[in-house]
Amino acid sequence: MKAGAVGAGIIGTALLDRLGEAGWETGFVARRSGVYINGERLGDLDKYAEYCGGVDVAFLAIPTLDDGRTAFDYIHSFHRLGIPVVTCEKGAMSNYYDELEGSLDCIGYSATVGGGTRLLRYLREMQGRNIWEIHAIVNGTLNYIFDEVSSGRSLGEVVAETKKLGYAEPGEGSPLDVLNGELHDVAMKTAILFNISGVADKRIRAVDICYKPLDDDDLRRLMREASSRRYIVSISGENGDNDMIGGFEHNVDGWTISAGFRNIHENPLFQQLVPPGVNNALMIVEGEYGSDGTYVVKGQGAGAKPTISSMMKDADKLLKKKIFTIT
Ligand SMILES: NC(=O)c1ccc[n+]([C@@H]2O[C@H](COP(=O)([O-])OP(=O)(O)OC[C@H]3O[C@@H](n4cnc5c(N)ncnc54)[C@H](OP(=O)(O)O)[C@@H]3O)[C@@H](O)[C@H]2O)c1
């Protein structure tokens, strides 16, 4: 099998190593500075399409520096060449879902939400069922920070550790900056979750979600209540939660989509949902108040390794399906 890669940073480089170990050949590597093969520069970045010959799958691992348009354009252009795409970039799926929905069978997107848990695949399989509500923990970094602080460690120490482990963005930001830095990530993941769930006819765009950044007072309160607070996303036909710190509420088609630091003792379902450490979790409540069952998926949510293994599984599935009728 032959791979093309767009982005060769933390994820792209480790992914290409893993693909190499699995016997894949690398067709090209596109990065801002140009297009490469085996470390040799072949040309400018805008010429990447010339090097796509024989590529079976294109892997997209670029940061979201815009609303996802750049990633969307890459996906669209690979599809026009008949090449399926596996992506871990969240902007395209969270803001251009309407445009991509017709070609989802040619996109591996599991790594955009939930790291290695594959929770989006599970959610997609539940489409059409009588979903009453959905709750999720989709940011492993925030979950890890609050889990560790609850066990008695200081916020400063835990935040420094998340940077070292590569869970949070590296840099000089304060703990408040780091927490706020994760909120955009949650908004993008929430839009993807809602759209994939198919509970409503309408789709949403992450850019339309207005979230409230945390301020110093919020942080002080959060530290006092750390053991009972987790950042939870909920999609429900009921009204939002009044006891939420930070976050957002967005209403569409009779559904309330909300997220924030919630009190996990307020809703018994949260006891089943909240995972330890850096993990992510998804809970689907089926039938009125769960009369048809409550299902939970959990697993490692942050970090390069689970992301890469999810991307490799996606590629495998795309190649097995071989449905490349791209719309
Ligand atoms: N790091 C993680 O643990 C993790 C986990 C889950 C998901 N993700 C997602 O994975 C993606 C990549 O993350 P990363 O940590 O690997 O980022 P990174 O280390 O900053 O690397 C980004 C790579 O993308 C290239 N790039 C940027 N803009 C580009 C463009 N327009 N066209 C072509 N290449 C471009 C860069 O080129 P240059 O090399 O020339 O600078 C670089 O090689 C992000 O969307 C992130 O949210 C990351």
Nearest CA owner, ligand 1 atom 43: 8
**Most confident of the following: 165-179, 206-220, 296-310:** 206-220
Q: How far is the centre of ligand 1, averaged over its atoms, from the C-alpha of 283 (Å)?
A: 30
Does the C-beta of 63 come closer than 6 Å to ligand 1?
A: yes
At residue 171, the pLDDT reads 66
What CATH homologous superfamily does 119-301 map to?
Dihydrodipicolinate Reductase; domain 2 (3.30.360.10)
The size of the chain, in residues, is: 327
User: Tell me: the pLDDT tens digits for 116-157?
Assistant: 899 999 999 999 999 999 999 999 999 999 999 999 999 999
286 half-sphere exposure, CB direction, 13 A CA radius = 13
- How much is the pTM? 0.95
User: Tell me: the pLDDT tens digits for 60-97?
Assistant: 999 999 999 999 999 999 999 999 999 999 999 999 99
CATH code for the structural domain at 2-115+305-321? 3.40.50.720
Nearest CA owner, ligand 1 atom 44: 63
Q: How far is the centre of ligand 1, averaged over its atoms, from the C-alpha of 55 (Å)?
A: 20
Cβ-in-10-Å burial (0-12, 13-18, 19+) of 318 comes to: buried
Does the C-beta of 10 come closer than 6 Å to ligand 1?
A: yes
Q: CATH 3.30.360.10 region(s) of the chain?
A: 119-301
Torsion over CA of 71, 119, 303 and 266, rounded to 10 degrees?
120
Q: CATH 3.40.50.720 region(s) of the chain?
A: 2-115+305-321
Q: How far is the centre of ligand 1, averaged over its atoms, from the C-alpha of 10 (Å)?
A: 7
User: Tell me: the pLDDT tens digits for 193-206?
Assistant: 999 999 999 999 99
